[in-house]
Amino acid sequence: MYEIVLIFHVIISAGLVGFVLMQQGKGGGMGTAFGSGTSDALFGATTSANFLSRTTAVLATLFFVTSLSLSYLASHRAKQARLEAMPIVPAEQTDIPETDIPALENKITE
């Protein structure tokens, strides 16, 4: 499950970077980015801004969701790894000799 979410996270982050780089700045249009002197937009004046900004918002939301999911899954994987690494010692295998325990019966003096 962790690996699947991680793959989606990498794909979403690459898409998010791509869509952010495709957006135009406040002063320029798509025509100026490709070397033309005009400021006409490639998708139309308002369509590109809506499409790119909405897609960026959706990808950013998915990025945050996958980030939170990865942190949750990673914390549970670490807990599982610690639990699996702990040795389980049954009570029968505890080799504590009874002679090592000091007897208090003879120590009491009046």
CB neighbours of residue 24 within 10 Å? 17
Confirm if 11 and 4 have CB atoms less than 8 A apart.
Answer: no
pLDDT digits (tens, 9 = 90+) for 23-54: 877 665 555 556 655 555 555 555 566 888 89
Q: How far apart are CA 100 and CA 33, in angstroms?
A: 84
How many domains does the chain fold into? 1
* Residue 99 covered by a domain: no
* Residue 47 covered by a domain: yes
Half-sphere exposure of 25 toward its Cβ, with a 13 Å CA cutoff? 4
* Residue 106 covered by a domain: no
pTM tops 0.85: no
For residue 35, what are the domain limits? Answer: 2-85
Neighbour-count burial for 38-61, b at 16+ CB within 10 Å, e otherwise? eeeeeeeeeebeeebeebbeebee
* Residue 90 covered by a domain: no
* Residue 70 covered by a domain: yes
* Residue 59 covered by a domain: yes
Q: What's the pLDDT score for residue 77?
A: 78
